[in-house]
Amino acid sequence: MGELVRFGVAVDEELLEKFDKLTVARGYANRSEALRDLMRDALVQQQWQANEEVVGVVTLLYDHHARSLEAQLTDIQHKYHEQILSTMHIHLDHDNCLEIIAVRGTGRQIEELATKLIGMKGVRHGKLTATSTGRGLR
């Protein structure tokens, strides 16, 4: 980690009040921590848009009884085996399953995979949580 640099920012008083409330609500120790987190989030988004190597998690909630859905989800995952790091399958109840899929690849590859999985008939809810490999976020 490099040397800390102090800088000034001019902000509308009302906006700063709202930001301070958000900082407290999210449990940040101070504004600096909150700002660093926002900066890192913007850099992660840039990595995804630039199609760099990224990581993420795809979560799927689906109907266990949906006709051939599990086989279709497995087929898609096999086609993207190079991007899938790990999968966890959880039986929530008699009807619902939760699948958590850790992924790594370019932004486009991961978004394509997530879109295919989430769009399957029988998937009740799906979400891609995007993050970074950690490079460039110090």
- pLDDT tens per residue, range 99-132: 999 999 999 999 999 999 999 999 999 999 999 8
Q: Tell me how far apart the alpha carbons of residues 69 and 109 are, in angstroms, rounded to a whole number.
A: 22
Mean pLDDT in residue range 73-94: 96
Quote the pLDDT of residue 138: 64
Quote the pLDDT of residue 63: 94
The CATH topology of domain 13-49 is Arc Repressor Mutant (1.10.1220)
Quote the pLDDT of residue 4: 87
What's the DSSP call for residue 10? -
Residue 88 in 3-state DSSP? strand
Q: Is the pTM of this model over 0.75?
A: yes
Q: Which residue has the tokens 């988004």?
A: 45
- Break the chain into its structural domains and give their ranges: 13-49, 53-132
Quote the pLDDT of residue 99: 97
Q: Tell me how far apart the alpha carbons of residues 31 and 41 are, in angstroms, rounded to a whole number.
A: 15
For the domain bounded by 53-132, which CATH number is listed? Answer: 3.30.70.1150
